[in-house]
Structure 1
Amino acid sequence: MAQHSPSRAAHRLLSLDILLALLALAGGLRVLFLAAPEPAWPAEAANVAHAYALAHLTSFTGTGGAGVSPFGWLQLSAWTMVTDASGRSATALVAVRETMLAAGVAGVVLVWFLGRRLGLTRWAAAASALLLAASPLALGLQRLVVVEHLAAVWVLGALVLITRPDARIRHDVVASGCLLAAVLTSPLALFFLPVAGWLLVRRAPVRAALVAVLLNLGLGIAFGPAAGALRPHLALPGRPSLADWLALDPAWAVLAAVALPAALAVTALRPFAVSGLLLAATLLVPGVPATAVLALLLPVTPLLVAGIVQAVVRQRAPAHRVDTARPRRAGFAAALAAITVASWGFAFPVLQPSADRAGPLTGAQEWLRANASGARLLVDDAAWAELAHAGWPTGMLTSPAACAAGCPSAEWAVFTGDPAGPAPDGASATAVFGTGGRRVTVWRLGLPPADPAVPPEAPARARAGASLLASARITAAPDAAAVLREGRADPRLIATLAALAALQPVRIAAFPEVPGEDPAGQPRRRVLLTGEEDAATTFYTGQRALFRPSSVTRTDGGVLVTYPLFAPPGLLGPAS
């Protein structure tokens, strides 16, 4: 016995080294791609908002269609509070995504242990964990705040306990609690009950009955008297679709398609193959989100692939025949691994993190703070979480779902995503940040409808701007002249520049853009003047009523004059 102790200790140290290397790889890659903007899932915003609201003991009413998981949201908020992720992170999204990072790393560890419990060699278990740690599909999917990732960790924990060689009753009781937690997090976790029951019956039928009783008792309470507070519901299907995800990692798609049915031929893997096939079949059911299904399938596939490859490589020829095919099988396994890793090189650029880690919502927050501070806002899920994280009073943030039964009227609306329909009644797009699915639009609500009898103002601004440029007393830089010529200058600036030119020569250095307003079609309402700066400052600070600027600032480049939003109509009447 003593002779084997050093060898056993060396094996344990090697296993520890492999596990630590996998942890470092899984954690490092997930930190690197934590802020990748694409692919995006709309339901993620609702999960972030609910988790943020729970962590800060406030209420939130989602916009609907994003799924319900009270227990999942509780887990997200608990991690956020314990780790102070909100205090350390620039955005609410990144704060809650830290939970997914921890869940992803935990999943890699549990897959390693589960593989070893199922009879995989040290290197086969390491290969399965590596596939989960470094797959572009896993990195792209596991960064999203999807409660099914938490359910997968609970399921893996239960299966690791169930497959424990020296399992006691206490281990089975904890395993039943893990399975209950998984189902309460996501109803899709029900598809893993067959594999848990199968493994329990293989080991000890009496203990399987005990776990079944405990699990049914918990589910009866959760889906019965406590259904209003605990029952989860799936999110509505939408983009990214199954094809979007599989395009991110075609190698995983091929391996999964082969491994799921092939694993039925391997005794140790057969329970997992059955549950995996049942779960994969839900992808054909209308109304089931592919993102949620793939989140639960991700940890299963690496185990099946590694187990099948190990079984193929270990096939033995009959005793009377020399096994000449084994080197070829080993070479095939190595070639398969090389092709899989090579295919990942085409997928990683898709997950390229954005250079702007803050994102368009940060620009919208700054714009609102400067132009609508203290106003009541109508917001969607993503805007609610980020504005609340930035310090906007949650009592002044209202979602459309909360207003269904009536609520105080909002002055502004902030919505994310590419607008799919016409603008709301009495709304004007005032600022736009980002493009496509990351677009954030700020709307001014409650504006009177435009009078069709009044001619559009843009041509009048262009004619008045051209008149200014024709004056010998006005000198404009090329970019500033283009703004005047194209009718993109605020009419109050045009009028006051004309008045100032009657008193002294005017040199216009620029009409600086207010970030977000040009894409919304708003005229430039800032001007930078050089030369005779004292006189220009006195002129603009002395303006009254409609022509009084919101600020007049001396800068290194000259005098910066800024007007508030929305010039009154008719200021350029003669030019109209």
Structure 2
Amino acid sequence: MTSTLPAVTTSTVPAQRRPAPEVRSADRTPPPARLRSSRLDLLLCGALLAAILVVQGWNISAYPTLSDDEGTYLAQAWAVQQGKGLAHYTYWYDHPPLGWLQLALLTWIPSALDPGAMTVGTMRLAMLLISAVSAVLVYVLGRRLSLPRWAAGLAMALFGLSPLSVVLQREIFLDNIAVMWLLLAFCLAASPSRHLWHHFGAGLAAAAGVLTKETMLVVLPALLVTMWRHSHRDTRKFALTGAVTACALAGFSYPLFALLKGELLPGSGHVSLWDGVTYQMTRPGSGFILDRGTGSYGVLQSWLYYDRVLPLGGLVGALLLLATWRWSVTARALAGPALTVAILAALALRPNGYLPAMYVIQALPFLALVLAAGTASAAHAVLRRWRAEGERRLVTGGRYALAAVLAVAAGAYVVPRWYDGDRTAVTADANAPYRAAATWLGSEVENPGDTRVLVDDALWLDLVHAGYRPGLGAIWFYKADLDPAVTKTMPHGWRDLDYVVASPTVRRDAVDLPNVKAAIEHSAPVATFGTGPDRIEIRRIQQAAVGGAR
């Protein structure tokens, strides 16, 4: 703030009444008012963004392996583009639809130019835009939470270049889009200008995050903490009230949508929001995350396989920040991100909770921020000790020496591990079996328009583009047992099918799906792509078993 007092010389003010010079905490660097006002910030952020986009974009369609969830969200976006409703089958309130509505917008132009490009591997490129925005928001949030420039850059690099981030952010997951909205909400909540509209905007952005992936709801308390700390005391009540109101009003649009469609509560002949929420809350757990042999333990090991530094280092950093928030300026500034990590970790540690592989996505930016903040605090602690010991002459040069030591130590441990993980991401081809299966089904089946195939959603759009009828010819395998609109077209069950594409997902989940299981048991492979548990088998329903039923 610029002073309005006239300038005076030292001699005109009595010594005992001179104002004390402002003392700035050693572990707090004031952020720039706006990112664009600092050329160094722009250069650093731009250089890191270029590196992130190269690493995440190179080989994006070939690694990691296509997942059924990716195919489902993209197929739902395709249905929106085609005017076929909110999903390619009966929409049953599994997730709010805002996520794939955004996907539909992101993929609209490329799909209009080349309809055949609307497949999972190709449309992963749309996720680069989400990754780019999220990475920049991590940097902006770090600066607004008073991290020094180098620490904000470290957080951005941790978020965007960790092998765990590279793998998960490439995939078409709603979580990646929701995280972008949550980061925007945090940035608005921590705005240094403290305008009321920033807090209203934070509430709307938070609502967009929740309506993209409902699990973001658990992060909102941490957002309120950030907003409380960064709002002006005189307008804090208005700011918080406005943010909560904006978030609630936008969020209530989802149950209002269900109410207007007559699908809020269970009833005969229709799906309901209540049933969808009940399913999500009562789905079988995957076991305790630290018990060997449980599904949750397997998910944890899959995260640590790609990167141990970001998940474990970030968790430790968050706990330390929360433990020292009373006397550490950095800990108080980072209270929101640290609390976010703590909340997500506590939910993951539920004794028998359900833990999906993409769960860690919502924690990645906050893990990066608290780990970078912990590194900055350690560096400043060393500098303070040097000052306390009277070695002031070493402070200026010591900054560079300390930075060099930290960089060498971190590099010796992190770089070899990250190099191996990122090299795999930019060179491996995990999706050759999927491409080969799609090619075979498009070229070897004589009359795809009259052929009925059970397939997972990772291949569903490939078959639609190859001429199979959406929903009747190319059938998402779950729907053959779970959707009455599909089962009524199969009066003889599995006997009304021609092929089943037994991908790893189909084989795994067929145990609980009678029609799918029977189709696999009464079929023989006519083409196999890949080997071992990752193979994809195209199996023809055995006509001898079908007999004259069709």
Q: Does the pair score TM above 0.5?
A: yes
Match of 2:240 in 1: 208
Match of 2:348 in 1: 283
Structure index of larger Rg: 1
Match of 2:89 in 1: 61
Are 1:243 and 2:298 an aligned pair? no
Q: Is the 8 A contact 2:437 2:538 kept in 1?
A: no
1:330 shift after superposition: 4.3
Q: C-alpha distance in 1, partners of 2:531/2:545?
A: 27
Amino acid corresponding to residue 104 of structure 1 in structure 2: S
Q: C-alpha distance in 2, partners of 1:103/1:94?
A: 16
What does the per-residue CA deviation read over 1:409-429, in whole Å, with 9 as the maximum and x for residues that have no partner? 222222322735776354222
Number of positions where the alignment pairs a residue of Structure 1 with one of Structure 2: 444
Mapping 1:553-564, distance limit 5 Å: none
Q: Is the 8 A contact 1:104 1:142 kept in 2?
A: yes
Mapping 1:306-385, distance limit 5 Å: 306-315=372-381, 316-317=384-385, 321-322=389-390, 327=398, 330=403, 333-338=406-411, 339-355=413-429, 359-373=433-447, 374=449, 375-385=451-461
Match of 1:139 among 166, 183, 191: 166
Q: C-alpha distance in 1, partners of 2:79/2:357?
A: 24
1:283 shift after superposition: 1.6
Match of 1:407 in 2: 489
Q: Is the 8 A contact 1:380 1:414 kept in 2?
A: yes
Structure 1 counterpart SS, 2:543: coil
Are 1:24 and 2:63 an aligned pair? no
Q: Is the 8 A contact 1:361 1:386 kept in 2?
A: no
Amino acid corresponding to residue 254 of structure 1 in structure 2: L
Structure 2 counterpart SS, 1:60: coil
Match of 1:561 in 2: none
Are 1:100 and 2:127 an aligned pair? yes
Structure 1 pair 91–60 and aligned structure 2 pair: CA distance change class (3 A): closer
Structure 1 pair 263–87 and aligned structure 2 pair: CA distance change class (3 A): farther
Match of 2:12 in 1: none
What does the per-residue CA deviation read over 1:519-547, in whole Å, with 9 as the maximum and x for residues that have no partner? xxxxxxxxxxxxxxxxxxxxxxxxxxxxx
Structure 1 pair 253–33 and aligned structure 2 pair: CA distance change class (3 A): farther
Deviates more, 1:187-196 or 1:282-291: 282-291
Amino acid corresponding to residue 539 of structure 2 in structure 1: W
Q: C-alpha distance in 2, partners of 1:62/1:221?
A: 20
Deviates more, 1:16-25 or 1:418-427: 418-427
Mapping 1:214-229, distance limit 5 Å: 214-223=246-255, 226=258, 228=272
1:35 shift after superposition: 2.2
Are 1:428 and 2:524 an aligned pair? yes
Q: C-alpha distance in 2, partners of 1:402/1:41?
A: 17
1:206 shift after superposition: 2.2
1:25 shift after superposition: 0.9
1:268 shift after superposition: 0.6
1:191 shift after superposition: 2.5
Q: C-alpha distance in 2, partners of 1:193/1:68?
A: 18
1:246 shift after superposition: 1.2
Identity of aligned residues (%): 25
Amino acid corresponding to residue 390 of structure 2 in structure 1: V
Q: Is the 8 A contact 1:251 1:340 kept in 2?
A: yes
Q: Is the 8 A contact 1:248 1:350 kept in 2?
A: no
Structure 1 pair 298–371 and aligned structure 2 pair: CA distance change class (3 A): same
Q: Is the 8 A contact 1:379 1:398 kept in 2?
A: yes
Match of 2:363 among 285, 297, 303: 297
1:220 shift after superposition: 3.4
What does the per-residue CA deviation read over 1:194-252, in whole Å, with 9 as the maximum and x for residues that have no partner? 22211222212321111112222333342465365798859986697121121111222
Unaligned runs of 5+ in 1: 2-7, 452-576
Q: Is the 8 A contact 2:314 2:367 kept in 1?
A: yes
What does the per-residue CA deviation read over 1:405-455, in whole Å, with 9 as the maximum and x for residues that have no partner? 32142222223227357763542222222234543222222511499xxxx
RMSD over aligned Cα atoms = 3.5
Amino acid corresponding to residue 132 of structure 1 in structure 2: F
1:336 shift after superposition: 4.1
Q: C-alpha distance in 1, partners of 2:532/2:118?
A: 20
What does the per-residue CA deviation read over 1:84-134, in whole Å, with 9 as the maximum and x for residues that have no partner? 388287560123322322111111100111111111122211111111121
Deviates more, 1:118-127 or 1:85-94: 85-94
Deviates more, 1:408-417 or 1:126-135: 408-417
Are 1:386 and 2:462 an aligned pair? yes
1:378 shift after superposition: 2.6
Higher helix share: 2
1:323 shift after superposition: 5.0
What does the per-residue CA deviation read over 1:57-87, in whole Å, with 9 as the maximum and x for residues that have no partner? 34523899x9534221211122111443882
What does the per-residue CA deviation read over 1:372-398, in whole Å, with 9 as the maximum and x for residues that have no partner? 423222322223122123443324222
Match of 1:572 in 2: none
Structure 1 pair 22–9 and aligned structure 2 pair: CA distance change class (3 A): closer
Q: C-alpha distance in 2, partners of 1:69/1:362?
A: 33
1:10 shift after superposition: 11
Structure 1 pair 180–450 and aligned structure 2 pair: CA distance change class (3 A): closer
Match of 2:267 in 1: none
Q: C-alpha distance in 2, partners of 1:400/1:450?
A: 19
Structure 1 pair 354–138 and aligned structure 2 pair: CA distance change class (3 A): same
Structure 1 pair 62–302 and aligned structure 2 pair: CA distance change class (3 A): farther
Amino acid corresponding to residue 368 of structure 2 in structure 1: P
1:188 shift after superposition: 2.0
Question: Which has the bigger relative contact order, CA under 8 A and spacing at least 6?
Answer: 2
Q: C-alpha distance in 2, partners of 1:287/1:61?
A: 28
Match of 1:51 in 2: 77
Structure 1 counterpart SS, 2:525: strand
1:22 shift after superposition: 1.6
1:146 shift after superposition: 1.4
Match of 1:118 in 2: 145
Match of 2:194 in 1: 167
What does the per-residue CA deviation read over 1:130-185, in whole Å, with 9 as the maximum and x for residues that have no partner? 11121111101111121111110000011111111113232222221110011111
Structure 1 counterpart SS, 2:537: strand
